[in-house]
Amino acid sequence: MTNITNKINQQTITLAGGCFWCKEGAFSQVQGITSATSGYMGGNSNLTSYEEVCSGETGHAEVVQLTFDPTLITYQEILEIFFTLHDPTQLNRQGNDVGTQYRSAIFYHDQEQQNIAKMIIQEMLEEKAFEQPIVTEVCAATTFYSGEDYHQNYFNNNPENQYCQAVVSPKLAKFRKTFVSKLK
């Protein structure tokens, strides 16, 4: 009976903030996150492949779509993690990854998510949490396109990949140190 109840209470959140490998790698380790799927959202094309998205012509962002149990982790806690995993002041880029596909965005799935996201961003602006203005978009979720199979669980499947070693691994190490109490 518990499994049925948990599935009924599950919610979805979709986040963009640079390479989806980093977000998926981190969120897949968090208590209460029941799935983390790399994919694409926010574009103007029905045809989405990694190559098409990387062209910058589809308008899609690399995202991670999370399913979570709100009795174990709140939407606010997920956004707190999200804002530490990337720099929300960089427009259409994260580090050396440049293009609209790497923009910072919160794709909300209902009015409450939209309100909370805007409130958290406003609070961070008022607290001057970052030296530069926050450029994170808050927009309605559109069609989610799951990334190709080889993008799923990428960091765990490819820990020796150069990008994983240079970019993903340091972010995940910082993440683990900061959010140790939230890890599975």
Residues with active-site annotation? 19
- For 101-132, b/e burial (b = at least 16 CB within 10 A) is bbbbbbbbeeeebbebbeebbeebeeeeeeee
Residue 3 has φ and ψ, to the nearest 5°, of: -60, -40
